[in-house]
């Protein structure tokens, strides 16, 4: 026992022993490390309960849990804000274990303790730094959100103004077309007005989208086709669509509007002469290369259509497809004409 006592006395770990068989479970032994930790002398501790280390900011809930464990003879482990003799607070990390006799009766409680003040100080510093970082991130996020909202509003305004300007230009060209004698010149003016109208529709759709950087291709195509179909005799010709929902880059809106408008308009104008009934279908879906777009009619076919030396539509379509770095294939659908276009999509073009 003397060897154990000497070892505990020399240990750098603060230790204390209390006797629950005496009233108020007083301290009956401490080592030098415990005295150094608390600032008390042995004569000031022996015969007193360890509550003398408690103070105004000591957590009552932890004290209650510790007392309940000791009353039940159970071990306890926890951290408690204690006070040294000079009133200096420190965080006391303690492990309390009962010491029993052969019959299981609790003879003493042995507690090893540690000064956890530096750990709590570091935790507090980390919490403060984290709070400061969160405030900075929050402020920065608010600034970025504000800047994004301003940019979004500006882009919406640009699309709105471009749409209005294109509508004015289209209206002027239609007015000029009506005042031009029938013939190639009038047809060219009418066709250009329709193309400008398609671009106006593209900017109208971008203006209505919440995300100015992307647009819903299915809704976009439905809006374009609604404009084209508004003047059709549905008993004679109709347009059918099967479009996959794709979120595409806003940069694709104008060229796709021109492609769909040009090909669908050409089919409606030239595939069904002499009151012929027919159907134009537009399909689009994602493929390994990007997006596959097919516009097909069941009309008279390219071979039977009258030549149009002044026609610009096919040239325009081929030019736009080259601009999009895509591929284009014209074929006879038997009956009708099939135009298949593959457009590569980059990460910037899709989410």
Q: What per-residue confidence (pLDDT) applies to 233?
A: 79
Q: What per-residue confidence (pLDDT) applies to 119?
A: 92
Q: Architecture of domain 2-120 in CATH?
A: 2-Layer Sandwich (3.30)
Q: What per-residue confidence (pLDDT) applies to 63?
A: 95
How far, CA to CA in Å, does 83 sit from each of 89, 90, 91, 199? 4, 6, 8, 78
Please give the angle made by the CA atoms of 98, 79 and 64, to the nearest 5 degrees: 65
One pLDDT digit (tens) per residue for the chain, 351 residues:
566 677 778 889 999 999 999 999 999 999 999 999 999 999 999 999 999 999 999 999 999 999 999 999 999 999 999 999 999 999 999 999 999 999 999 999 999 999 999 999 998 899 899 888 888 888 888 877 777 667 666 666 766 676 677 677 777 777 777 878 877 787 777 777 777 777 777 767 666 665 667 888 898 888 888 877 877 777 788 899 999 988 888 888 888 988 888 898 888 888 888 888 899 999 999 998 899 999 999 998 877 666 565 556 788 899 999 999 999 999 988 888 999 999 998 766 665
**What are the tokens at 9?**
């006395």
Torsion of CA 111, 116, 10, 97, to 10 degrees: 10
Phi, psi of 223 (to 5 degrees): -70, -40
Q: What per-residue confidence (pLDDT) applies to 220?
A: 85
Q: What per-residue confidence (pLDDT) applies to 42?
A: 94
Q: What per-residue confidence (pLDDT) applies to 258?
A: 86
Pick the closest to residue 81 from 118, 111, 55, 113 (CA basis).
Answer: 55
**CATH number of this structure's domain 219-351:** 3.30.565.10
Instruction: Quote the distance between the C-alpha of residue 342 and its chain's center.
Output: 30
Q: What per-residue confidence (pLDDT) applies to 82?
A: 96
């Amino acid at each position: 026992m003397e060897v154990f006592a000497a070892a505990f006395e020399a240990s750098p770990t603060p230790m204390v022993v209390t006797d629950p068989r005496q009233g108020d479970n007083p301290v009956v032994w401490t080592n030098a490390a415990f005295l150094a930790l608390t600032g008390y002398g042995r004569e000031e501790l022996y015969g007193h309960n360890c509550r003398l280390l408690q103070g105004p900011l000591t957590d009552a809930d932890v004290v209650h849990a510790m007392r309940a464990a000791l009353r039940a003879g159970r071990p306890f482990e926890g951290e408690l804000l204690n006070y040294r003799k000079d009133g200096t607070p420190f965080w006391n990390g303690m492990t309390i274990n009962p010491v029993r006799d052969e019959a299981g009766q609790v003879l003493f409680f042995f507690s090893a303790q540690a000064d956890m003040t530096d750990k709590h100080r570091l935790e507090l510093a980390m919490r403060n730094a984290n709070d400061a970082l969160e405030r900075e991130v929050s402020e920065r996020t608010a600034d970025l959100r504000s800047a994004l909202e301003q940019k979004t509003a500006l882009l919406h305004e640009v699309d709105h103004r471009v749409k209005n300007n294109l509508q004015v230009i289209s209206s002027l060209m239609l007015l000029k077309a009506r005042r031009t004698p029938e013939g190639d010149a009038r047809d060219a003016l009418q066709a250009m007005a329709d193309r400008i109208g398609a671009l106006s529709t593209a900017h109208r759709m971008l203006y209505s989208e919440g995300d100015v950087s992307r647009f819903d291709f299915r809704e976009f195509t439905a809006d374009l086709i609604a404009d084209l179909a508004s003047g059709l005799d549905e008993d004679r010709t109709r347009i059918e669509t099967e479009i996959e929902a794709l979120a595409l880059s806003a940069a694709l809106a104008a060229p796709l509007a021109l492609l769909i408008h040009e090909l669908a308009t050409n089919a409606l104008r030239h595939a069904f002469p002499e009151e012929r009934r027919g159907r134009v279908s537009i399909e689009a879906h994602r493929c390994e290369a990007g997006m596959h777009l097919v516009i097909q009619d069941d009309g008279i076919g390219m071979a039977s259509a009258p030549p149009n030396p002044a026609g610009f539509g096919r040239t325009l379509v081929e030019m736009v497809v080259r601009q999009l770095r895509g591929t284009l294939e014209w074929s006879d659908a038997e009956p009708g004409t099939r135009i298949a276009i593959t457009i590569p999509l980059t990460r910037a073009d899709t989410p």
